[in-house]
Structure 1
């Protein structure tokens, strides 16, 4: 049986510290331990791990990382008093280290932006890579988070969405909040500035299509409502363009949950354009749940 563990990646940036606070709260409500991880490629730095002989004895990279982790743990304890937290420094690339950590975690949490420069680019690529390849759900946290509001789950009629729906119900239950299940329909293409193809233009019967999409949404939620009667659910079947509709809906949510295909191929194709758009543009934290990873 896997340990009950929430893992958060840190790099000292404000975004990573916001992720630490979110991860601490997640660990507490899940009755899980919190593992604060910093990945570091020692050989590539070309600097000694200890202090420079010309500088103060506490000015080395090792001391800086120790301070970074101590600050992160302090933020975790302040955000979620009572949470059990440990720390780890892992030699290697962040994406590899966190993907490995995901094998024994319930949830991986990372910040939306890194500490700037190459670190910022690394963290951005880390979130996309993890969302596509992690062995558990991945939460990407914004600097500012809403403490209130429902959990928002994007629902479609594909099998890879089932894990996201399950996670969203469980998360709403843990947080003691409601759930908004949003299904966007009507367009065949949602890329670029070109006008998307609309089913209504081809079929013409808006009411019939709306009723059909509402049935699909209800069927997708079937069983979850019975399993979580404590969660108040509001369903929305909206005709429109998927990405802008979901981004706008995220304004009033404390968390958005989206699914990912979980199949082979390039990272961008594996994750999907909608999931990537939410990671970059949603107004609240986003959790990506790969098919079969919950």
Structure 2
């Protein structure tokens, strides 16, 4: 099914972190020649469901503050991207609900990874986790300090798993690499659920490696046939999924490091439990570049 009137959607709230996400979303919209939809949502008390209802002047003042924040974000984006079609929406509802509802009409939902605490849950943020779990589109989480640059020509990292969401993520990652004119770094992690004291710090055993490479090559083959112009590097690691993927994001010279990571929302092998579990939260919270989470029921893309 092809969804009409697609756009890239980004949520803002007046913070610097949200502006970073909006700038990244604008570049993605330019890459795809799609409009950018900037949403700012605010909660308001519902009559009859609260013991206290704010006086109309207070509500109007709050609305005006948020209109100003939204206009400022749009103005900054238009200044930096003068040829981009930028549209704005101020909504009076929970930000999580607004972004999830909007995701039904967007090609990609973009949000910032906020939070300043040490706990991973705090680093990711409640809005990000909720949107990842419920959005109808792929969701990109942009770190507060985005080190991806413009992302063009830098590798796209794909976290490979064997589930339905893994297949959807593969398709997304190959298309992203094609759009950027970059190579794909496909990483399969052999998850160590049991300790390996004798092998600690060593590469996967030969038998494990051969079987994993065969599995990985078989999963990638249909997509390589569809996207023959995309160079693919296949990597197998043993360890915990999130740390192994983060290591791949941080190794090597800056120009050779991935500018984007793509993972499935839930997996059955190396990335098992990636949606709301510790792996996804750890990866998104600590990635130096944007992470796109792709759900298995993701729609066909319209560009």
Do both proteins adopt the same fold according to a TM-score greater than 0.5, normalized to the shorter chain? yes
Aligned to 1:192: none
Q: How many residues align?
A: 272
Alignment of 1:1-294 (within 5 A): 1-43=3-45, 60-113=61-114, 124-145=125-146, 146-147=148-149, 148=151, 149-185=154-190, 187-188=192-193, 196=195, 206-251=205-250, 252-261=257-266, 270-294=275-299
Shift of 1:198: 8.4
Deviations 1:56-81 (A, max 9, x none): xxx93233222211221122223433
- TM-score of the aligned structures, taking structure 2 as reference length: 0.80
Distance 2:28 2:236 in 1: 29
Aligned to 2:270: none
Shift of 1:281: 1.6
Aligned pair in 2 of structure 1 residues 115, 198: CA closer, same or farther (>3 Å)? Answer: closer
Distance 2:72 2:222 in 1: 43
Aligned pair in 2 of structure 1 residues 4, 269: CA closer, same or farther (>3 Å)? Answer: closer
Aligned pair in 2 of structure 1 residues 270, 20: CA closer, same or farther (>3 Å)? Answer: closer
- TM-score of the aligned structures, taking structure 1 as reference length: 0.82
Any stretches of 5+ residues in structure 2 without a counterpart?
47-51, 251-256, 268-272
Deviations 1:93-152 (A, max 9, x none): 111111101111110000111699xxx969811111111111000000012222243111
SS at match of 2:212: helix
SS at match of 1:237: strand
Shift of 1:50: 5.3
Distance 2:28 2:161 in 1: 26
Aligned pair in 2 of structure 1 residues 271, 121: CA closer, same or farther (>3 Å)? Answer: closer
2:138 touches 2:292 (CA, 8 Å); kept in 1?
Answer: yes
Distance 2:22 2:275 in 1: 27
Q: Which stretch shifts more, 76-85 or 90-99?
A: 76-85
Shift of 1:2: 2.7
SS at match of 2:145: coil
Aligned to 1:56: none
